[in-house]
Amino acid sequence: MTVVRLGYAAMSVHVPHCSPSQTMTAAQFRAIRDREAAIRKLERIAISNVENCLRLLKHNKAHDIRFFRLSSRLIPLANHPELDGWDYLAPIREALRSIALFLREYPMRLDFHPEHFVVLNSPDADVFRTSLRTLHLHRELLRGMGIDAEHRCVLHLGGGYGDKEKALEQLIHNWAYIPISLQRMIMFENDDTVFTLRDALYACEKLGVPLVFDLHHHLANHNEEDWRPDWERIVATWRHSPLPMKMHLSSPKSDRQFRAHHDFVDAEMFIRFLREIKGTVRQLDCMIEAKKKDEALFQLVRDLKRYDEIEWMDGASFYVK
């Protein structure tokens, strides 16, 4: 028997006026002549973003959702060079503490998927340093929410730079320069253009990092490799994690736009996958990456209810018989 928990990413289409990703560009910041006033505006945006996160968590509780991806855009311009010295955490500490208190009452798995500019295999020292600063920001946000940072940030392996094997070795080389406190946060996923499942497995096994299997990415980028023979290896990368195994779940937008995410998830595709892996892992947390966010989760729940082999535990969790 395998327990499956469904989650979704960052935003809700059901909760109005609740974006956790409100922003301010560097140009907008410069346009405000009074620097202190500009910083105060940034801080109000950040506070609103974190407060909206709490609203989303309460929405999740109402629907039995215990798995959620936090927005990585909570604090606009947090590491921008023009704001060097700005204590961006000070104004949001109370809002973060409110989330911590909520999570004590209603435990929920929360994690991040930092932006595409976090590239740990970059040969450019400045890009690498900026990536570490961004990971440090995520660690501090997790700490403020009272969340153990271990395995809470999923990343792509990085760029191919014209030589995929060399790029993988660059990642392994750079790993030695990443503080252990940041290393322990990281999970890697296979991507849809450069690094296949087996590439990701090579890196994860070498570095002792869990692999987040993205089925859609695999279908888009697999070099005619079947994921099934490698499933035990994927599961084994989670052996030492305190968290249940997780994967990413999405469906192609169309045959022509195969890499793009559909508004919803194809339930038949998902159930075929679950039939293959049931019983091989005790629990699997599935992060839905669909354009319709929480509505995609609700629709998938409705679609899965027609399958007799699924037994529902609550509104967003079930086990496969």
In this structure, the strands spanning 211-214 and 186-189 are: parallel
Output the pLDDT for position 173: 97
Q: Which amino acid is at 210?
A: P
Strands, DSSP E only, in 115-183?
153-156
Q: Residue 181 — very low, low, confident or very high, per pLDDT cuts 50/70/90?
A: very high
Contact 49, 71 (CB under 8 A): yes
**CATH no. for residue 118?**
3.20.20.150
d(CA 248, CA 7): 10
Question: Stretch 250-274: mean pLDDT, rounded?
Answer: 96
Give 186's Cβ-side CA count (13 Å radius): 27
The H helix count followed by the E strand count for the chain is 11, 10
Confidence at residue 110, expressed as pLDDT on a 0 to 100 scale: 98
The pLDDT value recorded for residue 13 is 98
pTM over 0.85: yes
- Six-digit token string for 274: 């679950």
Bridge partners of residue 126, in order along the sequence: none
Cβ neighbours of residue 85 closer than 8 Å, sequence gap 6 or more: none
Angle between helices 293-304 and 267-277 (to 10 degrees): 70
In terms of Cα–Cα distance, which of 296, 297, 301 is closest to 313? Answer: 301
Q: How confident is the model at residue 247 (pLDDT cuts 50, 70, 90)?
A: very high
If pLDDT is split at 50, 70 and 90, which confidence band does 206 have? very high
Residue type, 212: V
pLDDT value for 86? 93
Short-list 310, 301, 209, 186, CA closest to 249: 301
Q: Which domain holds residue 180?
A: 2-320
For tokens 């354009």, the residue is 291
> Which amino acid belongs to residue 264?
F
CA dist 74 and 65 (Å) reads 21
3-state DSSP call for residue 308? coil
* Average pLDDT over the chain, rounded to an integer: 97
Residue 33 backbone dihedrals phi, psi, to 5 degrees = -65, -35
- Beta 310-312 vs 317-320: how paired, if at all? antiparallel
Q: What is the pLDDT of residues 284-306, one digit of tens each?
A: 999 999 999 999 999 999 999 99
If one counts the domains in the chain, the total is 1
- E strands in 91-220: 109-112, 153-156, 186-189, 211-214
CB 309 within 8 A of CB 268: no
Q: Where are the beta strands (DSSP E) in 125-264?
A: 153-156, 186-189, 211-214, 245-249
Burial class (CB in 10 A: 0-12, 13-18, 19+), 185: buried
Q: Residue 61: how many CA atoms within 13 Å on its side-chain side?
A: 14
In angstroms, the CA 4 to CA 213 distance is 15
The larger pLDDT score, comparing residue 281 to residue 85, is at 281
